Chain A
Amino acid sequence: MTSKLIFQFCMSLISIFCIILLPYLFMDMTQLINTIKLIDTGLISSGWFIKSQLSLEFNQYIGAIGTTANKLLHILDIHYYYKGKMLPLFPDILIPYISSLKIFASALSISVLTTFLLTYAIMLFPIHLKRFVQFILFILESLPDIFVVIMFQVFIIWLYKETDILLFQITNTYQNPALFLPIICLSILPTMYLVRILLLLLEDESSKQYVELAKGKGLRRPFILAVHIFRNALFSMFYHSKTMFWFMLSNLFMIEYLLNTNGILMFLLKNYSPITPEATITGVFMLFVPFYLLFAFITVLTEAKKKKVLGV
């Protein structure tokens, strides 16, 4: 299992590396990069006189792979390009990186907690109310992330205008970053997703025989649900963890952008330049590694548990 995970880890790193260098495959970079440097230093105002074609440049791509891999070996010396200047990547990237991780971790814990509370409450509802709630959840989950985030923002401002209650700080300042709003926004959609999955799993689990037995013993439903069913359903929920991470990461990207949070994805977006792909690659690796480790940890845990349950 571990050897498979390590293999997967290395392969993923290689594929991320190759994808980010893709612009080098499609256009002749040298001329374009020299022109953009001239524009950024103010020597010329526009490069309209250069007409280049999209073309396949295999040699350039392979060369770029070589030089970039070489630069990645000296990871502390990596610079990023910003408007004509080369700035060192470390420690500039660390502050947004830590703030992103903070937002992600708190949103994850908030959404997991609310999921447990919500599903427990919903499972105790009468069946018609439960179906209705499930339908509402389905509709909310079907909406795109940008819509939910923007609507949430508009709602908070509307509430402030009407009642003078400002629920959270919505503007970002350097000393006082508004962390609460992105955390709440990020936790909304994953919560919907998790609640729906957990409800399905719980319903599946409730039809099993041990639940009948527990009922026969005269145990109360809330007790059976909390002690027996939940524990078993939780185990299957780990299988959905990967989809969940993916979903949250792409939400985080949009939320950082829309709420102007000073996070790592925003940093990568603002400072992306084909001149320094190694800076972008380092940033994406920094995102990828902790998430992959967490995911690998969960996988190893569930595999161990599965072996124990099956008695292999």
Chain B
Amino acid sequence: MAKLVKQPLFLIGFIMMLTMFLGSFVYSHFHSEPPEKVQVLYNDEKELLGAAPFPPSTQFWLGTDRLGNDLFFKVMDGAKYTLGIAFAVAALRLLLSCIFSFFLQIMPMKIRVIFIEMVEGFKFVPVSLLAFIILSPVLIIFAWSFTNTQQITFSIAVLTFIAVPTLSVLITEEISEIKKMEFFEGVKLFGGGYFHILRKHILPFLLPRLAIMYGQHVVAVLILLAHMGFLELFIGGVDFITVDVSLGGEEVKESFQLMNEWSGLIGSTLYEFWASKWVLLAPVYGFALSILGTNFMVEGMKRSFSEHQPSSKQLKKKKNLISTSIEKKFVRLNS
């Protein structure tokens, strides 16, 4: 753990994530009311400067949307929901995959092989497309038929289970990799029980890898959430408000979100992009920063763990040293 803190990349990433996540709570604690909507702006001589949406400036750091809401407030307020969902879903994915990989290991070899080969199919279909196929009947196509709570639970469940097959195969592979290590021969000979071996011999090697996987899956969930935002799949479901009636008499509806969750912010402002691009860019900045921060943490963990465990290369070098010195002695004795 101390070595982890010494990794500058890990520290930078950790501080970035912490400020965003905790900062969001602190910020919304002090700004419990959203800032006043600013529809028009005047300068000191009471001249009209412009009307909402305003581009980013010193007054509005990320600009405002068409209704005059400050986007910096929206993004800061939404951070805790989006990051919270990402942390929770990644943890759930890892937990379920660990349990699943346990069952996978005790299964007969044939069933395991079939399962592993079936999981390969996942790798050739984009995850976002799969998420769209499974979620859109509940969230978009038949949205009128399901309640909000049902939609939220279903989307969280899909976000979780979509990665469980791949992840559990990965964990199974890691465990069998550990079991191939040399010390494991000895472990088997001593004849400890299954859980004793798991706790004492496998977990110390598995935990750092699980930590890295957790970070990677936080990134994966964040990316998936961003994609879902673009595909207008909102986790909490969405209300449509009629903003206009077209000449043909059709109602023009726009999606409207109450919770400032980032993917919702993206989805509900997609149409603004060409007129006022900062409205869409604000939540995208949020996603980019948090993904960058988590990737920094993952890279820092990778570096510190590879220092911690002697890599195969270092071992080889040591072996070479030992063998050459022995050979030298051997040669001397003979001559």
Name A's B-contacting residues (CB within 8 A): 7-8, 11-16, 19-20, 22-23, 26-27, 32, 35-36, 46-48, 50-54, 138-139, 142-147, 150, 154, 242, 245-246, 249-250, 252-254, 257-258, 265, 268-269, 272-274, 280, 284, 287-288, 291-292
Contact = CB atoms under 8 A, between A and B. Distances in A.
Given A32-B145, A145-B223, A250-B127, A23 B133 contact: yes
Interface in B53-92: none
Contacts, number: 142
Given A11-B117, A47-B145, A139-B292, A249 B124 contact: yes
Contact of B137 (A253, A268, A274, A292): A274
21 contacts: A8-B120, A23-B134, A27-B137, A27-B142, A32-B145, A35-B145, A51-B147, A52-B142, A52-B146, A54-B154, A142-B291, A144-B291, A145-B223, A146-B230, A154-B277, A245-B124, A249-B124, A254-B128, A254-B230, A280-B133, A288-B124
B133 A16 contact: no
Contact of A16 (B121, B144, B147): B121
B28 interface: no
What 9 pairs between A and B have smallest CB-CB spacing?
A12-B121, A142-B295, A15-B121, A11-B117, A250-B126, A15-B118, A147-B288, A253-B126, A23-B137
Contact of A257 (B123, B231, B281): B231
Nearest to A248: B126
Interface in B150-198: 150, 154
Interface string B213-234: 0000000001100110011000
Nearest to B292: A142
B26 interface: no
Contacts of A246: 123-124
Interface in B128-149: 128-130, 132-134, 136-138, 141-142, 144-147
B296 interface: yes
Centre residue among B119, B124, B280 by max chain A CB count within 10 A: B124
Q: Is the interface of A mostly helix, strand, loop or mixed?
A: helix
Q: Is the interface of B mostly helix, strand, loop or mixed?
A: helix
Interface residues on B, range: 35 or more
A95 B281 CA distance: 32
B156 to A, nearest CB: 13
Contacts of A150: 280-281, 284
B138 A27 contact: yes
Interface of B: 114, 117-130, 132-134, 136-138, 141-142, 144-147, 150, 154, 222-223, 226-227, 230-231, 277, 280-281, 284-285, 287-288, 291-292, 295-296, 299
A139 B130 CA distance: 28
A272 to B, nearest CB: 6
B287 to A, nearest CB: 6
Centre residue among A11, A36, A145, A287 by max chain B CB count within 10 A: A11
Nearest to A52: B145
B145 to A, nearest CB: 5
A155 to B, nearest CB: 12
A284 B125 contact: yes
A11 B123 CA distance: 12
Contact of A269 (B117, B129, B277, B284): B129
Contacts of A13: 121
A8 to B, nearest CB: 5
A53 B154 CA distance: 11
A27 B129 CA distance: 20
Contact of A47 (B119, B133, B144): B144
Contacts of B127: 250
A54 B146 contact: yes
Contacts of A47: 142, 144-145
